[in-house]
A = this chain, B = another copy of it.
Amino acid sequence: MLNLDLMFYPKSIALVGASSDKKKLGSIVLKNIIDSGFRGEIFPLNLTATTISGLKTYKDYADLPSIPDLALIAIPAKFVLEVLEKIIQKGTKNVVIFSAGFKEAGSEGLALEQKLLEIIKKNSIDASTKINVLGPNCLGFVNNLYPVNVTFGQPVNKKGNLRFISQSGAIASSVFDWAEYNEIGFSEFITLGNKTDLNENNILKYCYDNDITSQTQEKGTSGLVPIGMYLESIIDGKEFINISKKISAKNPLFLLKPGKSNESKKAMQSHTGSIAGEDYVLDVALKKAGIIRCDGIEDFFDLAKVFAWEKIPKGRNIAIVSNAGGPAVLSSDFVASEGLQLVRFDEETRNELEMYLPRAASIFNPVDVLGDALAERYESAIKTLIIDDDVHSLMIILTPQVMTQIEKTAEMIGRLSFEYGKPIICSFIGGSHIAKGEKVLNKFKIPSFRYPERAVKAIAKMSQWGEYRDTLNINSENQNLEVDSGFSEVLLQQNTTDRKNMDSFEVNQILKTHGINTSPTAKCVNIDAAKLFVQENNFPVVLKISSPQMLHKSDEGGVIVGIDSVEKLEEAFGSLQKIILNMDKSGLNTIQIQKQVAKGLELIIGSKKDMVFGNILMFGAGGVLANLIEDRNLGLIPLSKTEIITLIKNSKVNKLIEGYRGEKGYDSEKIVDLILKFQNMIASNPKISEADINPVILNDDGIWAVDGKMILI
C-alpha cells in the first residue's frame, strides 16, 4: 500500500531547476510555493545562483543539509533521469516531474520514459523503499488544506471542499481560471501528466483513505467532498471500479473523458500516446462504479459547482419559481427530458401560494410570480415551497425586467438557503445586469446558471448520483462467481495451436461442456453420415459449413435450414460441398448437421474482452431483429442474478418476452439461467476474447444455443 502523505503534506521541498527568471518554470513554481503559505523548508537547486527569492540555493542534491520529503524536477527532459537517481540516493521518496518531452513527444521521448520507469521500479523493492513519482509532463499539485502549492500555473489558493484530478495540465489551467471567476475553492488539485508511476487509482485511493470532510465544510456548502476527474485513459479498469465504488458510496465522483468518437480516439493517441478501450463499455463501467459522466466541459464545470455547494436532493421532485412564463415553460421541457418530475402541489401548498400571490400568478408548478415581482413576492413563494416535503429541490428563474430587484432577490434566496438547507439552484438569465445577482449568490454558495436548461441538467445529475449512492449502500449482493473446472480450457488449448477462430462445431462442444443446451449435432464426412444422423434424430435438420474461416455463415450461403426430406438433404449437402471446394484445402472446413430447433423467440448473448474493463456481456434480440432494433444491453462480467434480471427487463426484446399484444410470453428464468452459464464459461476461460450465441432460440421445449462463434486471444 502506498503512502502518499509525505507527497501531499511535505515538511521540506527541494526544487531542482529553481530560477529567478520570471518566465521560467522553476521561477513560477517557487513563487507558487512561497505564495501558498507553505510553512516547511524550501531548498532551491540551481547551478549558478547563490540565492533565489532570498533562499539559499544548492548546486547538487547530495549537498542538501537534510533529506527533503518532496523533490520537484523542473529541468529539461534529458537531464531528468540523472537527477532522479541522485534524489533517490539521497533518500527522498516523493517526486514531481514537471518536465515535458517524454512519451507524448515521440519515440525518443518514449524511450526516455521507459528508462524513467525502470529507475522507479529498480528502486521500489518493497513498501518501505517505494518511490512515488507524479508526472512527468504534469502541472504538479495543490493542497490548500496544508497548505502547499507546487504547480506552475495560476495560483489557486482558495480553500474549498472540491477535489480535482486532471490528467491534462491545460484543462487544469482552464479550471483554475474558471474557479477564480466563480469563486470556487479546492482542497486538493492533482495533475497526473503521463502517469508513468502514479495514476488515477493511486490518487483515488489516497482520497478515500483521507477523509477531509470535517476540514472543508463552510457554511452553505454541500456537506460533501466531491471529486472531479479529467482522464484520457484509465489504467486498470477493475481497480478503478473497486475504489470508485467505495468513494461513491459517500461522495460524488464525476468524470470528464473524451473518446466517444473514433476521431477523438485517433486525436488522443497522437496527444498522449494512450490507447483507450471501447467507449460504450466505459458507460457501463461508470454506472457500476457510481460515477457521473459529464457530457462536456460545461457539464464538468456545472457539476463541480453544484456538488460543491448544494446538498443532494432527496428525490427527483423539483419545483420551479419564475418571474417569466417563457423560461419556466422551457424548463418544464428539460425537466421531462432529464428524468425529473414537476411536483404536483397539494391543496395546502396551493392555498398558501394563492394567499400570497396576485390573481394572475400561476400557483401550479412552475410557479409564475409574474414580471413585476419584487424580492418579497419571490420570498413568499419560495418560503411556501421550501417547507413542502414533496419538493426535493427548488429552481429559481429570474429575468431582468423593469421592476426586478436582482440583488435583493439574490440576497433573500441566500438567506433562505442558509436557513433551510434545501437544494436550491438558480437561473438568472441575461448578461450585464444579472451578473450582479450572481455575485451575491456566489457569496451564499448558491449555483446560478445563465440558462435554465443547465440548472435542470445539474439537478438531474445530482439526483442520479444520489440514486447511485443509495444503490451502492444497499447493494451488497455477493458477486463471487463459482468458476468451472478447466475442462473447456483444455479443449481450447488443444485446438488453438495456430488459429484464433473456433468453428461452429467446436463452439457447440464448448457450450455443452458448460451446461448450455445445444441441439444434437455431428460432423459429416459424407452424405451417408448425414443420413445416419437423420435416422437417429429425424427431420427437420440444418446443414451448415463448420469452418474457422467463416464467421458469417448465413450471409455467405453456408447455412441451409428446413431440410425435411432425403432429396433436400442430398441437394443441400451437394451445394455446401461445392462451396467448400472453393475454400482453401486446410481440411478445417467440414459439413455439420444439426437437428433443427422449433421456432421461437430469437435472442443473442455475447461477450467481448475490453482491454480496460475485462469481459463485457451483451444481451438482446437475435436473428433478423438484432440489427433492426439495435437492442444491445451491456453489463460487466460478473453480473449478479439481480443485474441479469434488470438487463433483460431493460432490453427492447423484453416486450416480446413478456408477451406482446396478446401473444403469449416466454419464461425469462430460462434466459437468466443461460446467461449465468454463459458468463461462467467466459469467466473460467480467460483465453476467450469474443464469443456469441446467435440465435438463442427460446421455445416451448426449452432454450437452445443454435449457432455460435468464438474467437480466442
CB of A366 within 8 Å of the partner chain = yes
A205-241 vs B, Cβ < 8 Å mask (1 yes, 0 no): 0000000000000000000000000101000000000
- A296 is contacted by which of B266, B334, B430, B554 (Cβ under 8 Å)? B334
B177 touches A430 (CB 8 A): yes
Chain B neighbourhood of A179, CB < 8 A: 431
CB of A167 within 8 Å of the partner chain = yes
B662 touches A232 (CB 8 A): no
* Interface-facing stretch out of A335-343, A415-423, A480-488, A523-531: A335-343
CA of A24 to CA of B214 in the docked complex: distance in angstroms?
Answer: 52
A336 touches B430 (CB 8 A): no
B655 touches A430 (CB 8 A): no
CB of A202 within 8 Å of the partner chain = no
A341-381 vs B, Cβ < 8 Å mask (1 yes, 0 no): 01000000000000000011010111010010000000000
- For chain A, the count of residues having a C-beta within 8 Å of the partner chain is 103
* Interface-facing stretch out of A65-73, A128-136, A257-265, A543-551: A257-265
- A333 is contacted by which of B105, B258, B333, B334 (Cβ under 8 Å)? B258
B263 touches A333 (CB 8 A): yes
Chain B neighbourhood of A557, CB < 8 A: 662
CB of A272 within 8 Å of the partner chain = yes
CB of A330 within 8 Å of the partner chain = yes
CB of A249 within 8 Å of the partner chain = no
Q: Which of A268, A364, A402, A433 has the most CB of B within 10 A?
A: A402
Chain B neighbourhood of A688, CB < 8 A: none
Chain B neighbourhood of A169, CB < 8 A: 371, 401
Chain B neighbourhood of A328, CB < 8 A: 267, 271
A154 touches B336 (CB 8 A): no
CB of A444 within 8 Å of the partner chain = no
B174 touches A430 (CB 8 A): yes
CB of A171 within 8 Å of the partner chain = yes
Given A179-B431, A554-B662, 4 other A-B contacts at CB below 8 A?
A: A178-B430, A260-B336, A297-B450, A297-B452
Provide 18 A-B residue pairs closer than 8 Å at the C-beta atoms, listed in order of the A residue.
A23-B403, A109-B360, A168-B324, A170-B326, A170-B399, A176-B400, A177-B432, A179-B431, A180-B433, A230-B326, A258-B329, A261-B336, A267-B328, A267-B366, A268-B329, A298-B453, A627-B660, A628-B653
> Which of A's residues lie within 8 Å of B, judged by CB?
23, 25, 28, 100-101, 104-106, 109, 152-154, 167-171, 173-174, 176-182, 230, 232, 256, 258-264, 266-268, 270-272, 295-298, 301, 323-330, 332-337, 342, 359-360, 362, 364-366, 368, 371, 399-403, 429-435, 450-454, 554-555, 557, 624-625, 627-629, 652-653, 655-656, 660-663
